[in-house]
Structure 1
Amino acid sequence: MATHIFCGIQRLSRVLDAGIRPLNSTLRRASTSKQTRIVTGSNNEKIIMSSCGDASYPETLIHEFVWNNSENYPNHIALECGINGKKYTFAQAKDATSYIGRSLRNMGLKTGDVIALVAPNFPDTILSCLGISSGGFIVTTINPMYTAEEMMIQLLRANAKAIITSTSIASTVFAAKRACLSHETPFIVIDDKIGSMPDGSIPFSDLITRGKSLPPVNLNRTCDDIVALPFSSGTTGLPKGVMLRHRNLVSNIMMVQTSIDVFQFPTSTFQDVIPAVLPFFHIYGMNALMLPRLSFGAKIITIPKFVPETFIDVLDKNKVTALFCVPPIILFLTASPLVKKQHFHHVHLILCGAAPLAETDVDRFYEKYNIDSQICEFRQGYGLTETSPVDFIGTGRKYSSIGQNIASCQVRLVDVMTKKDISTSGQTGELWVKGPHVMKGYLNDEDATKNTLTQDGWLKTGDIAYFDEDFDFYITDRLKELIKVKGFQVPPAELEALLRMHPDVEEAAVIGIPHERYGEVPKAFIVVKENKKPTEDDIKDFIKGKVSEYKQLRGGITFVDNIPKNPSGKILRAKMK
């Protein structure tokens, strides 16, 4: 398997005349033994190295990387719409992205211009993303569920020169465009058969049709040029444009592949089949699912938004081999009567990320469907938009752990109070990471960049973590979300996992609220299961004895209809406060 991967990389370097680059060229360890996992850096840092060693990647552009091996399986299906069944083979998809890039250039757009991609998950959304890259442009992905005002803020901050959207949301996007961009700004619309095409817009299909007769684009781009501009709040503040280079995306794909090595290129008898419900505008959907899986020849079945019946229909009609999830989807798979054991018959991997998932939730899934965990692996991952995104992937049965740092991802734990490095298992500190997958910085925001990136390239994640004796890492919580009770730190995620174990609780969120004597105390928001009516005392009694005295829910319990979350499943605690 590994030989197959690296043969493909070597072919890529010959085709593109680009060298294969080791990711950790400045700092190496002698072995993977525990004694040498922690290395002392030049400034006396205690750097925790990956047990997977170093990965390698070709110095090339992301769209060239994605299509490099596709000549070996040109007639395999690359993209399929889970709603209307529209399909593209790898040969068709590769050609289409080239034609899109040519057409965008023909509109007068220039190298390095930012193009806003505001669309649900469709095959044409993926083609747009790669077409933007092939034309020498930068894609800024925008949440299609945003209001026009929210879209307008990102369009202005990114300085967008064109927009690609779809008919179902075109009226909202057009309102944003009209309010902040010039009348001449190209407005390109994918026909998703919902809604109508606004006057003056350009049908997306025209880009492919016209591009066939246009000359190829002569790109003057390198792997250190910016290719993607997703927006993230980082550790604090309002959303900021995260400048990601071709190098960041390509290197992270190979860092993950080197670390887990569970995917293979298609053959005449096998192809990975993956439903893509994680939104492509989010970095998890973009560079943990969409681009890596296309690079290794998977068939991606797009799902515009999570609707239980649609998701189950895709599972029914396809031999799905891997699932990329967030915690709410795992909880749905466990609870829904629509889901059957047969849906997981071909699944070899379930990867969950973006928010914490308790070990009890994973155990409940395996127990319900009586699935062999050796055949269907479950892994939690961890990453950030700023790291393209993956930093850690779990192994084994430590489901509450984010696992170990992936190949070539260097890690430090820094004490929040003393600012000194931690090199002892069990002690918590702020997680810092370093590698070629780390962003260039925040767009037009020097202060935020300096607060997040050190001069020597360490990215401060804002997450509190510790590692155990096996160097498996555990996130205790966000630095800014920890509840301080009488000087003790209370991670909301710990209480939330316990609350979900209550037989009447569907979902839970915990925040800290001010308290005259204790500083802060935990308060819970509970969504109860259908036809269940637990009382506040029922919930409090359930927690008693399971956690320390200072972690009790002295802030009370409020029963609510839903828990506010962002598109990746992360609880919006600020909203709850």
Structure 2
Amino acid sequence: MATHVFRGIQRLNRVLDASIRAFNSTLKCTASLQTKIVKGSNGEKFFLSNDISYPETLVHEFIWNNIENYPDHVALECGISGKKYTFAQAKDATNYIGRSLRNIGLKEGDVLALVAPNFPDTVLGFLGSLSGGFIVTPMNPYYTVDEMSKQLLRANAKAIITSASVASTTLAATRACLSPETPFIVIDDKTGSIPEGSIPFDDLIKRGKSLPPISTSRIFDDIATVPFSSGTTGLPKGVMLTHRNLVSNIMMCQSCLDDSYIPTTSTHQEVIPTILPFFHIYGLNGVVLSRLAFGAKMVFIPKFVPETFLDVLQKSKATFLYCVPPIVLFLSSSSLVKMQHLEYIHTIVSGAAPLAKSDVDKLFNKFNIDPNIIKFRQGYGLTECSSVAFVEDGKKFSSIGKNLDGCLARLVNIETQQDIVTPGENGELWIKGPHIMKGYLNDEASTKEVLTEDKWLKTGDIAYFDEDYDFFITGRMKELIKVKGFQVPPAELEALLRAHPDVDDAAVIGIPHAKYGEVPKAFIVMSKDKKLTEDDIKNFMKEKVSHYKQLKGGVVFLDEIPKNAAGKILRLKLKNDY
């Protein structure tokens, strides 16, 4: 109890210290404005939100806009090696990187693939590429060679930035599909050797110091990054996100989280352990870029190892924790976790997948946490909206809360396509705002499927709202399987399974899993006179897909995959039967 009281006094002092400094009025969360349903010019009925203002500037310029107030504060730190950069050093480094990338022959508008775990240099590579006038496609560093090759080709990558720990796989993918002259840049993460012929990442910074400054013609509505997402259906697609998309969403989040986030001053700096992968939009824009822009210290953890994660929490004196449901479940269930690991935490935000109130209660009850000391909030978003669309205010843990300032929302009846204005009635969730993607890369057909002519994004998620206008996700129209926040398209796994010489047909569904949210379960029709076991199928997939796409839900052998007259797999029947 004494610890809670002391920490409460500490937090109050920090708040009072921050309150005497003028905080940009555009960031003030005007929660007093109640959500309303209004009628639009085209007759649509949508949920109103507060207006939001944001500067029309490029992402990298926005990130460094206020660092004169805290140039010597640490911006980026590796939780493993201790390597760190202050805000001033990080800004300079990104400028040098941009110059060097142009100097080695890359042209403005070229796409660079960023394939690395969470390191400070990974962020520098992203922002440095933007400062050089390039576009970045972040990639999962744990992809297989085949998975990497597909994204490199679809994104038309002209250069690679990777790290020593995954350099061999990345190099194999690069050689398999790109020109031998493709610049191959490697971050020395001290885990292995740098392949011969590659460019050491540190050299970009060293050489850039002596190169002249560069200018770009990139504008606010140009594409900044192309993360890949499965969208509402089908195989992974490149999501074209502009500088406007990213900057506006950062400001939208800040507007509704400013009561949780304490501004950086001479006496206080938020410390955020960064375990969420940087290649995922949540980790990229929802956490790292949004918090750097307001002076937080980011402590990077390249891979989740329980002991390492907890050690970083304690030693860094972490104050603000962004996580996904499996991490919340780990904190509440693992005997390794002690109250000392959460001693300085004042806010926990969970996203990427739904979390039940009972899961949050379990964590709070474990340590007898006062919700006034540690506030819990849940958010909702997707790659196509630059990360975040809804945030819950800490009162209804099972809800995704209300639409962010600047984000309009609609509920549309799936059958009638009429707007829903009655609490408790389910419909497809549509959203609109400056954070909505430009479209899918080189895929006009898929873009038209999810973006209406007046720019409403059809999320494919089923939701309802209650009398307080808080929203709840109840299911998905789309058939994607969401494993630990990652989207796994059944069509991708089915195509691979059908490539097995002894498999005639296959179907994949997601089944509930206590730790991962969902996991893939396969249904197999064997070729005549062939004998396969569950292990045969699982081992076949092991070398072809990443760990979160593995068939952890098991394998069932059938005589026939149930389909409708048009040949579409009846996944609901599979779920009901099995």
Residue 47 of structure 1 pairs with residue 46 of structure 2: yes
| Structure 2 length-normalised TM | 0.80
Which residue pairs with 2:54 in the alignment? 57
The answer to whether the 8 A contact 1:78-1:88 is kept is yes
Pick aligned residue for 2:161 from 161, 164, 173: 164
Partner SS, residue 412 of structure 1: strand
Distance 2:375 2:71 in 1: 29
Q: Partner amino acid for 2:172?
A: A
Residue 71 of structure 1 pairs with residue 68 of structure 2: yes
Partner SS, residue 472 of structure 2: strand
- Which stretches in structure 2 are left out of the alignment for 5+ residues? 1-17, 482-508, 524-544, 557-573
Residue 420 of structure 1 pairs with residue 398 of structure 2: no
Pairing 1:331-480 to 2, within 5 Å after superposition: 331-480=329-478
Q: Deviations over 1:79-99 (max 9, x none)?
A: 110110001011100000000
RMSD of aligned alpha carbons:
2.8
Which residue pairs with 1:98 in the alignment? 95
Shift of 1:120: 0.3
Residue 6 of structure 1 pairs with residue 5 of structure 2: no
Which residue pairs with 2:289 in the alignment? 291
Distance 1:349 1:567 in 2: 30
Partner SS, residue 390 of structure 1: coil
Q: Deviations over 1:236-272 (max 9, x none)?
A: 0000000000000000000111112122332121100
Distance 1:298 1:509 in 2: 33
More deviation, 92-101/567-576? 567-576
Residue 87 of structure 1 pairs with residue 105 of structure 2: no
Partner SS, residue 54 of structure 2: strand
Partner SS, residue 240 of structure 2: strand
Q: Partner amino acid for 2:40?
A: G
**1:311–1:436: structure 2 CA closer, same or farther, 3 Å change rule?**
same
- Which stretches in structure 1 are left out of the alignment for 5+ residues? 10-21, 23-28, 484-491, 501-505, 515-564
Which residue pairs with 1:521 in the alignment? none
Q: Partner amino acid for 1:266?
A: T
Distance 2:427 2:547 in 1: 28
**1:457–1:4: structure 2 CA closer, same or farther, 3 Å change rule?**
farther
Distance 1:126 1:162 in 2: 16
Q: Partner amino acid for 2:332?
A: T
**1:193–1:8: structure 2 CA closer, same or farther, 3 Å change rule?**
farther
Shift of 1:61: 0.3
| Structure 1 length-normalised TM | 0.80
Which residue pairs with 1:114 in the alignment? 111
Which residue pairs with 1:321 in the alignment? 319
Which residue pairs with 1:183 in the alignment? 180
Distance 1:482 1:277 in 2: 24
Shift of 1:396: 3.1
Distance 1:5 1:133 in 2: 28
Distance 1:162 1:70 in 2: 30
Partner SS, residue 436 of structure 1: coil
The answer to whether the 8 A contact 2:116-2:122 is kept is yes
Q: Partner amino acid for 2:46?
A: I
Distance 1:570 1:69 in 2: 44
Distance 2:66 2:346 in 1: 23
Which residue pairs with 2:147 in the alignment? 150
Pairing 1:297-308 to 2, within 5 Å after superposition: 297-308=295-306
Shift of 1:570: 13
Which residue pairs with 2:489 in the alignment? none
Shift of 1:148: 0.9
Distance 2:546 2:464 in 1: 26
Q: Deviations over 1:311-359 (max 9, x none)?
A: 0110121211011100110011111111111222211110000011111
Distance 2:414 2:338 in 1: 46
Q: Partner amino acid for 1:139?
A: V
Shift of 1:60: 0.1
**1:303–1:211: structure 2 CA closer, same or farther, 3 Å change rule?**
same
Percent identical residues? 64
Which residue pairs with 1:218 in the alignment? 215
Distance 1:399 1:422 in 2: 24
The answer to whether the 8 A contact 1:350-1:376 is kept is yes
The answer to whether the 8 A contact 2:272-2:298 is kept is yes
More deviation, 40-49/439-448? 40-49
The answer to whether the 8 A contact 1:381-1:392 is kept is yes
Distance 1:172 1:219 in 2: 33
Distance 2:549 2:379 in 1: 14
Instruction: Count how many residue pairs are aligned between Structure 1 and Structure 2.
Output: 489
Shift of 1:566: 8.4
Shift of 1:44: 1.1
**1:345–1:40: structure 2 CA closer, same or farther, 3 Å change rule?**
same
